[in-house]
Chain A
Amino acid sequence: EKHPDLLPGEVEFCSANPILKYTQDDLSQRGVFGTLFCTNFRVTFISDEKPQEKTDKTFKNKLYGENDIPLMCVDHIYGVYDEKRKLITGGLVKNKYPSKMIIHCKDLRVFQFSLTFSKEEDAKKVICLTSGIKCLCMYFVSAEMQWKQETVMFDSPEDWTQEMKRTKANCRLVTENENFELSQRYFLQLLLAVECLINVTNPKLSIVLTVNSTFTLTSIFFSFFFRMINAVAHNHLYSVKTEDLSESLPNIQDIQQSYNKFKQFFLIENSTDFWLSDVKWFSSLESSGWLDIIRQCLQKAVEVVECLEKDNTNVLITEEEGTDLCCVISSLAQIMLDPYYRTLMGFQSLVQKEWVAGCHAFLDRCNHLHQKDKEYHSPVFLLFLECVWQLVHQHSPAFQFSETYLTVLSDSVHVPVFSTFLFNSSHHRESVMKAESPLAQSGPLSCPTVWDWSVQFDSKAQNFFFNPLYLEKVKHDRAVRKPHKPKHQRNLSLPSSAFKTPPKKGFFKDETDSLKKMLRVKRLSRWRGSPDAPAATTREFFESWQHRPLDYHGLLLPCLDGPAVHIWMQRYLRWIPEVYILGGGSVAVMTKLMELLSQVQDLKRVLEQRDSSQAAKLDHRPYFQHRLLSFDSSGRLSSSFPFAYTCYRSFKPIIPTGLMQSLMVTDSLASQEDEASSVVSFV
Chain B
Amino acid sequence: IESLKMEPLADVAMLPGEERVIDKDIIYICPFNAAVKGKVFITNYRLYFKNTDSTPVTLDVPLGVISRVEKMGGASSRGENSYGLEITCKDMRNLRFALKQEGHSRRDIFEIIFKYAFPLSHGMQLFAFLSQEKYEENGWNVYEAMEEYRRQVLPNSEWRVTFINKNYELCDTYPTILVVPYKATDEDLRRVAAFRSRCRIPVLSWFHKENHAVIMRCSQPLVGMSGKRNKDDERYLDLIREANGTTKLTIYDARPNVNAVANKATGGGYEGDDAYQNAELVFLDIHNIHVMRESLKKLKDIVYPNVEESHWLSSLESTHWLEHIKLVLSGAIQVADKVSSGSSVVVHCSDGWDRTAQLTSLAMLMLDSYYRTLRGFQVLLEKEWISFGHKFASRIGHGDKNHADQDRSPIFLQFIDCVWQMTKQFPTAFEFNERLLVVILDHLYSCRFGTFLYNCESARESNNVRGKTVSLWSFVNSDTSLYINPFFTPESSRVLYPVASMRHLELWVTYYIRWNPRILHQQQSPVEQRYKELLAVRDQYLKKLEELQLSDSTHLTNSSTPNAATPNQHITHLQTPF
Contact = CB atoms under 8 A, between A and B. Distances in A.
B572 A618 contact: yes
Contacts of B509: 563
A286 B499 contact: no
B504 A674 contact: no
A563 B334 contact: no
Contact of A584 (B256, B258, B426, B534): B426
A588 B313 contact: no
A484 B498 CA distance: 46
Contacts of A592: 428, 487, 489, 531
A663 B320 contact: yes
A618 B571 contact: yes
A532 B538 CA distance: 51
A562 B266 contact: no
A285 interface: yes
Contact of A619 (B263, B311, B572, B577): B572
Interface string B513-528: 1000111011000110
B259 A653 contact: no
Contact of A563 (B307, B425, B428): B307
A618 B312 contact: no
Contacts of A55: none
B500 interface: yes
Given A559-B521, A597-B534, A662-B323, A581 B425 contact: yes
Contact of B222 (A561, A677, A680): A680
B311 A603 contact: no
B317 A674 contact: no
Given A581-B425, A592-B487, A614-B564, A283 B333 contact: no
B231 interface: no
Interface in B544-578: 544-545, 548, 564-565, 568-569, 571-572, 577-578
A478 to B, nearest CB: 14
Contact of A469 (B527, B571, B577): B527
A681 B351 CA distance: 12
Given A278-B503, A562-B308, A680-B267, A669 B530 contact: no
A659 B505 CA distance: 14
Contact of B503 (A281, A396, A561): A281
A586 interface: yes
B404 to A, nearest CB: 12
A562 B294 CA distance: 22
Interface string A648-683: 000111111001101101010111111111011111
B150 interface: no
Contact of B426 (A280, A559, A583, A663): A583
B330 A655 contact: yes
Interface in B290-333: 290-291, 294, 307-309, 311-314, 316-317, 320, 322-324, 326-327, 330, 333
B326 A286 contact: no
A670 B571 CA distance: 62
A562 B317 contact: no
A681 B198 contact: yes
A273 B323 CA distance: 17
Contacts of A281: 317, 501-503
A655 B335 CA distance: 11
Interface stretch (A191-199, A433-441, A572-580): A572-580
B337 A683 contact: no
> How many A residues touch the partner, as a band?
35 or more
Contact of A654 (B287, B497, B564): B497
B571 A596 contact: no
Given A469-B527, A603-B542, A673-B350, A283 B314 contact: yes
Contacts of B317: 280-283
A673 B538 CA distance: 57
Contacts of B234: none
A599 B521 CA distance: 31
Given A607-B541, A683-B195, A667 B425 contact: no
Q: Which of A593, A669, A674 is the most central at the interface, judged by chain B CB atoms within 10 Å of its CB?
A: A674
Contacts of B320: 663, 665
A559 B425 contact: no
B503 A656 contact: no
Q: Which of A579, A593, A669 is the most central at the interface, judged by chain B CB atoms within 10 Å of its CB?
A: A669
Contact of B500 (A274, A285, A559, A656): A656
B33 to A, nearest CB: 10
A610 B534 contact: no
A117 interface: no
Interface residues of B, number: 94
Interface string A266-306: 00000000110011111101110001000000000000000
A563 B511 CA distance: 13
Contacts, number: 254
A589 B429 CA distance: 10
A561 B309 contact: yes
A621 B503 CA distance: 42
A494 interface: no
B538 A599 contact: yes
B544 to A, nearest CB: 6
A603 B267 contact: no
A287 B327 CA distance: 24
A600 interface: yes
A619 B571 contact: yes
Nearest to A285: B313
Contacts of B194: 683
B518 A559 contact: yes
A397 B507 CA distance: 23
Contacts of A528: none
Given A278-B501, A579-B501, A669 B565 contact: no
A399 B326 CA distance: 34
A471 B576 CA distance: 9
Contacts of B197: 680-681
A543 interface: yes
A479 interface: no
Interface string A591-609: 0110011011001101100
A672 B313 CA distance: 29
A656 B311 CA distance: 26
Contact of A672 (B288, B427, B428, B496): B288
A23 B497 CA distance: 23
Contacts of A13: none
Nearest to B569: A618
Contacts of A604: 541
Nearest to A682: B267
Contacts of A473: 577
Contacts of A279: 323, 502
Contacts of B307: 561-563
A474 interface: yes
Contacts of B517: 543, 546
B415 to A, nearest CB: 16
Interface of A: 274-275, 278-283, 285-287, 291, 394, 396-397, 468-469, 471-474, 542-543, 546, 559, 561-564, 569, 573, 576, 578-586, 588-590, 592-593, 596-597, 599-600, 603-604, 606-607, 610-611, 614, 616, 618-619, 621-625, 639, 651-656, 659-660, 662-663, 665, 667, 669-677, 679-683
Given A604-B541, A659-B327, A663-B285, 18 more contacts: A281-B503, A282-B314, A287-B314, A561-B309, A578-B501, A582-B497, A583-B496, A584-B498, A588-B487, A589-B487, A607-B541, A625-B578, A639-B425, A654-B499, A671-B259, A672-B288, A676-B406, A680-B268
18 contacts: A275-B501, A281-B503, A287-B314, A559-B522, A561-B312, A563-B509, A581-B425, A581-B499, A603-B538, A618-B571, A619-B572, A654-B500, A655-B500, A660-B256, A662-B323, A669-B290, A673-B263, A680-B222
Q: Report the 10 A-B pairs with minimum CB-CB distance, sorted nearest first.
A: A562-B312, A653-B497, A281-B502, A282-B317, A603-B541, A286-B313, A282-B313, A669-B290, A474-B577, A584-B426
